[in-house]
């Protein structure tokens, strides 16, 4: 009887934060050499969107030769249901996606922007890899929520990332008050994101409903030429002339 093939390694491969932005930033601004090298060596991928995965590999190929030409790369998309609802809550079985891994191939996991499985789907794939006894290795790259937190000057020793706020206006106000209470009473910085075209609506709600002394950070276009991070008390934001939030990927944070 032959021994079963040991599984390959699941590599978590970060991508730049310029998805959908112009102009694109150089990959070497945000990805270390070791991350680029690993991305160039892989030939099997799980991603949110095959087209953007190929666009990423094209950019990698400008720096290093790929182990297999683009048309021979095996690229599998996460199901669309997972994009919307997230994949941590169970109900999604990622094991079939891991077939190449179980056959001994190394496998790359990528998202549209930043670190896969953080503020993005992918955690079900990582979980299934652990359950299969595969090695999981995260590579270094940009993570917008962490860059925003560091640059906010808010408490980075106790913080929560809570994803998106509700879209319904009344629900959103309720949630804003909840988050403010957590930030002020427990000193836990609350970090959240919004889809760029809803930035303005969220921002108006924040300025209207937060207390004047609460500190509010807004970090837009991180790692891009047009990057901008400001953190001020709400009272100062209300008087500021530069307060409009651009239609760029933006991270928000509330702190004491």
Q: How far is the CB of 226 from a second copy (least distance, A)?
A: 12
Is residue 47 within the footprint of a second copy (CB under 8 A)? no
Is residue 110 within the footprint of a second copy (CB under 8 A)? no
CA 61 to chain centre: 23
In degrees, rounded to 5, the angle at the alpha carbon of residue 128 between the alpha carbons of residues 126 and 132 is 115
Site mask, a second copy, residues 194-223, x = CB under 8 A? ----------------------------xx
Q: How far is the CB of 152 from a second copy (least distance, A)?
A: 7
CA 41, CA 44: separation in Å to the nearest integer?
10
Taking CB under 8 A as the criterion, the residue among 40, 132, 160, 201 binding a second copy is 160
Is residue 171 within the footprint of a second copy (CB under 8 A)? no
At a CB cut-off of 8 Å and minimum separation 6, what does 237 contact?
207, 216, 243
DSSP 8-state code for residue 249: -
Q: How far is the CB of 72 from a second copy (least distance, A)?
A: 27
How does strand 135-138 pair with strand 107-109?
Answer: unpaired
Measured over all CA atoms, what is the biggest interatomic distance in the chain, rounded to whole angstroms?
76
Is residue 187 within the footprint of a second copy (CB under 8 A)? yes
| The one segment of 1-9, 46-54, 96-104, 154-162 that binds a second copy by CB under 8 A | 154-162
Of residues 127, 131, 124, 143, the one with CA closest to residue 13: 143
* 78 versus 231: smaller Cβ distance to a second copy: 231
CA 218, CA 151: separation in Å to the nearest integer?
10
Is residue 116 within the footprint of a second copy (CB under 8 A)? yes
Is residue 254 within the footprint of a second copy (CB under 8 A)? no
Taking CB under 8 A as the criterion, the residue among 53, 98, 110, 143 binding a second copy is 143
DSSP 8-state code for residue 80: H
Q: Which two tokens stand for residue 146?
A: 């962490």
Is residue 51 within the footprint of a second copy (CB under 8 A)? no
CA 176, CA 254: separation in Å to the nearest integer?
9
DSSP 8-state code for residue 116: T
Place of tokens 């004047």: 212
Is residue 184 within the footprint of a second copy (CB under 8 A)? no
Site size toward a second copy (CB under 8 A) is: 64
Taking CB under 8 A as the criterion, the residue among 46, 57, 97, 154 binding a second copy is 154
- Please give the residue ranges that form the binding site for a second copy (CB under 8 A): 12, 26, 28-34, 86, 88-89, 115-130, 136-138, 140-143, 146-163, 187-188, 222-223, 227, 229-232, 255-256
């Amino acid at each position: 009887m032959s021994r079963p093939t040991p599984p390959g390694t699941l590599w978590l491969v970060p991508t730049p934060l310029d998805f959908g932005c112009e102009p694109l930033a150089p990959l070497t601004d945000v990805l270390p050499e070791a991350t680029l090298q690993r991305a160039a060596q892989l030939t099997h991928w799980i991603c949110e969107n095959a087209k953007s995965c190929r666009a990423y590999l094209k950019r990698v190929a400008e720096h290093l030769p790929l182990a297999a030409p683009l048309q021979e790369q095996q690229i599998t998309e996460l199901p669309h249901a997972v994009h919307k609802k997230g994949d941590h809550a169970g109900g999604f079985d990622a094991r079939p996606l891991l077939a190449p891994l179980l056959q001994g191939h190394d496998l790359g996991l990528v998202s549209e922007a930043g670190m896969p499985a953080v503020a993005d789907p992918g955690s079900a794939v990582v979980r299934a890899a652990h359950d299969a006894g595969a090695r999981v290795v995260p590579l270094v790259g940009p993570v917008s929520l962490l860059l925003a937190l560091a640059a906010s000057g808010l408490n980075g020793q106790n913080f929560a990332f809570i994803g998106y706020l509700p879209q319904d206006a009344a629900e959103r106000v309720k949630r804003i008050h909840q988050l403010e209470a957590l930030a002020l009473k427990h000193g836990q910085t609350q970090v959240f994101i919004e889809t760029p075209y809803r930035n303005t609506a969220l921002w108006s709600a924040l300025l209207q409903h937060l207390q004047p002394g609460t500190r509010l950070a807004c970090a837009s276009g991180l790692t891009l030429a047009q990057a901008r991070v400001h953190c001020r008390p709400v009272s100062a934001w209300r008087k500021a002339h530069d307060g409009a939030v651009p239609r760029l990927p933006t991270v928000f944070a509330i702190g004491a």
